[in-house]
């Protein structure tokens, strides 16, 4: 690694940052774009997540979503961190095309994350190679997922072709029944576009704490206020990462006594700013246990716990402690900021879905990668260690390389968008921006794409955000096959529903629809002859007082 000293580092680092930037652009544009005809083109591995995020964006660009609600669960205050998508929506609102707005912000966020990983590794370990290797380990995960790949494609002379033509992730646990998690690949960043900025923000905070712990006099009250405001805005930016920032501050109180009082001030101001946001979002409507040890480990025992993380961290399970013991005292303290995330994520459930805890482990492994990289660099410097370092990097990135090509080779699903789709066009042009629709399809409903709120989108997303989707789904089904006119009108008025949008009952796979009832009792204001979608207006037909 000493060869880097012989090269113009400024030039090399500039080249590295340019490479980060264009890689980020390519990754985001590969998975989402607008076609020349003006329709949405979404990668097949991203389209399900986009069925929640596009309606959220459109609720701010084409709709009126203030105060914010979750547009696929109309009514209660939003319980999902929305600021990233609000900014994208406002950019589209002022005339920037949706793909440029979303992909530009996503690319800048991912670029920032890569850059911060490099800079943090370089500064904390005073070695550029640690920064570079940390980025490499982040991009290409080191799990033992490649073992599953070779079960499907046995090692042969065609292995390289099998990898290059691969279209499926090696594992997708827990959803495919495998041990290795689905949340290690870059797929989480192409699908959850707000995630990179949140992770970059946590890493920035961790680095600032480390930096000021060594130079406490530099942490003046102006910087304290800026850091506190930065943290305090995070419930609306990313709620889970806000919690992780809180954990990092708590750990820092104990390991950095020189800045302890200043950390207390930061925490106090941040809590004051965050409290109104937390109160607005409210608590989850779903009952779940908070203390759930073991994360996704089945039949939790110490042995099964070790096996689970051995498969998920791969050789990193060995290299993390080696890198830790090869680090100096100050660097070891830095590791504790990330270790608390691993401990917390294995003990407590933070949302309705246990797998959502993956965010704790994503950030832990980003921190752990610095120490893996440190071990590799130390091996490189010893006689005979270069071979160990090279083979270690290969095995620590092999699964990630395999899982990169399903993203590269992914195809797209085309979804007709405004103004090409007649139904969306009608809704945008003829309904109030804050309208609520009773819907009969979950995903990419025309009302959602038009920026209007719908009664219930795909339940998984609302459920994982803390909404009671079971009761609402029951209500939705009862309204689509109503007992009586008065029953339906009472429900519609109570839920402040303005319109009913019904798909062709013969083609609908989500619900049973009594279309004759609606044709008989409600005024049809729009019919799309090609898709047989109909829109009915609730008022004045249901002219009842609010109950």
For the chain, helix (H) and strand (E) counts, in that order, are 24, 8
Residues 507 and 454 in one domain: yes
Residues 45 and 111 in one domain: no
Q: Please tell me the number of Cα atoms within 13 Å of 112 on its side-chain side.
A: 17
48 to 26, 470, 495: CA distances (angstroms): 21, 20, 26
What is the average pLDDT value for the chain, to the nearest integer?
A: 95
Residues 220 and 294 in one domain: yes
Q: How many domains does the chain have?
A: 2
pLDDT (mean) for 380-401: 92
Residue percentage of the chain with pLDDT more than 70: 97
pTM greater than the 0.85 cutoff: yes
pLDDT (mean) for 229-253: 98
Of 375, 408, 441, which residue constitutes the final position of a domain?
408
469 domain residue, yes or no: yes
Q: Flag whether pLDDT at 17 surpasses 50.
A: yes
Residues 342 and 362 in one domain: yes
pLDDT digits (tens, 9 = 90+) for 349-370: 998 889 999 999 999 999 999 9
What local confidence, expressed as pLDDT, does residue 8 receive? 42
Around Cβ 63, how many Cβ atoms within 10 Å?
A: 27
Residues 486 and 357 in one domain: no
DSSP per-residue letters across 521-541? HSEEEEEETTTTEEEEE-TTT
pLDDT digits (tens, 9 = 90+) for 482-518: 999 999 999 999 999 999 999 988 777 778 999 999 9
pLDDT (mean) for 459-468: 95
Of 408, 434, 456, which residue constitutes the final position of a domain?
408
What local confidence, expressed as pLDDT, does residue 200 receive? 99
Q: Flag whether pLDDT at 546 surpasses 60.
A: no
Q: Flag whether pLDDT at 250 surpasses 50.
A: yes
Which two tokens mark 275?
């409290």
pLDDT (mean) for 92-102: 98
Q: E strands, 24-178, where?
A: 32-34, 40-43
Q: In angstroms, rounded to a whole number, what is the distance separating the alpha carbons of residues 434 and 497?
A: 10
Residues 332 and 209 in one domain: yes
Residues 113 and 146 in one domain: yes
Q: Flag whether pLDDT at 1 surpasses 60.
A: no
Q: In angstroms, rounded to a whole number, what is the distance separating the alpha carbons of residues 490 and 31?
A: 43
pLDDT digits (tens, 9 = 90+) for 18-60: 999 999 999 999 999 999 999 999 999 999 999 999 999 999 9
What local confidence, expressed as pLDDT, does residue 9 receive? 57
Of 345, 375, 408, which residue constitutes the final position of a domain?
408
Residues 76 and 129 in one domain: no
Q: Which of 50, 68, 54, 72 lies closest to 453 in space, CA to CA?
A: 72
What local confidence, expressed as pLDDT, does residue 517 receive? 96
Per-residue pLDDT band at 171 (split at 50, 70, 90): very high
> Quick one: DSSP state of residue 179?
S
In the β-sheet with 40-43, what is the strand arrangement from edge to edge?
Answer: 32-34, 40-43, 412-415
Instruction: For residue 259, give its domain range.
Output: 2-34+104-408
Q: Flag whether pLDDT at 274 surpasses 80.
A: yes
What local confidence, expressed as pLDDT, does residue 4 receive? 36
What local confidence, expressed as pLDDT, does residue 286 receive? 85
Residues 358 and 460 in one domain: no
Residues 69 and 51 in one domain: yes
Q: Which of 41, 78, 43 lies closest to 59 in space, CA to CA?
A: 78
pLDDT digits (tens, 9 = 90+) for 172-224: 999 998 999 999 999 999 999 999 999 999 999 999 999 999 999 999 999 99
Any idea of the CA torsion for 495, 500, 501, 507, to the nearest 10 degrees? 100
pLDDT (mean) for 98-126: 98
CA angle, corner 360, sides to 358 and 362, nearest 5? Answer: 65
What local confidence, expressed as pLDDT, does residue 506 receive? 79
Q: In angstroms, rounded to a whole number, what is the distance separating the alpha carbons of residues 1 and 439?
A: 60
Residues 268 and 292 in one domain: yes
């Amino acid at each position: 690694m000493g060869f880097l000293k012989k090269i113009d580092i400024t030039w090399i680092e500039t080249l590295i940052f340019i490479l980060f930037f264009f890689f980020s652009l390519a990754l985001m544009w590969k998975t989402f774009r607008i076609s020349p005809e003006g329709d949405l083109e979404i990668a097949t591995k991203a389209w399900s997540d986009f069925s929640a995020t596009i309606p959220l964006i459109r609720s701010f660009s084409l709709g009126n979503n203030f105060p914010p609600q979750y547009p696929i669960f109309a009514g209660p205050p939003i319980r999902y961190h929305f600021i990233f998508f609000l900014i994208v929506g406002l950019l589209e609102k002022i005339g920037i095309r949706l793909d440029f707005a979303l992909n530009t912000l996503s690319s800048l966020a991912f670029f920032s994350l890569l850059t911060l990983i490099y800079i943090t590794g370089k500064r904390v370990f005073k070695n550029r190679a640690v920064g570079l290797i940390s980025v490499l380990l982040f991009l290409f995960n080191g799990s033992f997922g490649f073992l599953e790949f070779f079960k499907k494609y046995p090692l042969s002379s065609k292995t390289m072709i099998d990898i290059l033509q691969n279209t499926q992730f090696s594992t997708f646990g827990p959803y495919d029944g495998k041990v290795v998690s689905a949340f290690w690949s870059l797929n989480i960043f192409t699908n959850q576009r707000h995630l990179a900025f949140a992770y970059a923000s946590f890493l920035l905070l961790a680095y600032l704490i480390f930096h000021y712990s060594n130079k406490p006099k530099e942490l003046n009250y102006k910087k304290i206020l800026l850091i506190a405001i930065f943290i305090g805005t995070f419930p609306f930016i990313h709620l889970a990462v806000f919690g992780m920032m809180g954990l990092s501050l708590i750990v820092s109180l104990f390991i950095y006594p020189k800045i302890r009082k200043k950390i207390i001030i930061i925490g106090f101001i941040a809590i004051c700013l965050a409290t109104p946001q937390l109160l607005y979002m409210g608590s989850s409507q779903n009952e779940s246990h908070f203390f759930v040890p073991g994360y996704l480990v089945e039949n939790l025992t110490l042995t099964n716990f070790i096996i689970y993380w051995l498969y998920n961290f791969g050789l990193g399970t060995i290299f993390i402690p080696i890198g830790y013991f090869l680090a100096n005292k100050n660097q070891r303290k830095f590791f504790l900021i990330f270790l608390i995330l691993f401990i917390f994520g294995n003990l407590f459930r933070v949302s309705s879905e246990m797998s959502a805890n993956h965010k704790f482990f994503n950030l832990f492994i980003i921190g752990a990668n610095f120490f893996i990289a440190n071990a590799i660099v130390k091996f490189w410097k010893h006689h005979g260690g270069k071979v160990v370092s090279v083979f270690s990097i290969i095995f620590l990135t092999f699964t990630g390389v395999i899982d990169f090509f399903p993203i590269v080779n992914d195809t797209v699903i085309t979804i007709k968008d405004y103004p090409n789709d007649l139904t969306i066009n009608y809704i945008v042009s003829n309904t109030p921006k804050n309208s609520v629709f009773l819907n009969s399809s979950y995903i990419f409903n025309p009302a959602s794409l038009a920026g209007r709120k719908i009664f219930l989108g795909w339940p998984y997303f609302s459920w994982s955000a803390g909404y009671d989707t079971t009761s609402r789904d029951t209500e939705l089904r009862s309204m689509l096959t109503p007992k009586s006119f008065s029953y339906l009108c009472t429900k519609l008025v109570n839920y402040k529903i303005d319109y009913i949008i019904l798909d062709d009952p013969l083609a609908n796979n989500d619900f049973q629809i009594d279309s004759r009832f609606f044709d008989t009792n409600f005024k049809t204001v729009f019919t799309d002859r090609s898709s047989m979608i109909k829109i009915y207006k609730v008022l004045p037909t249901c002219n009842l007082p609010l109950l």
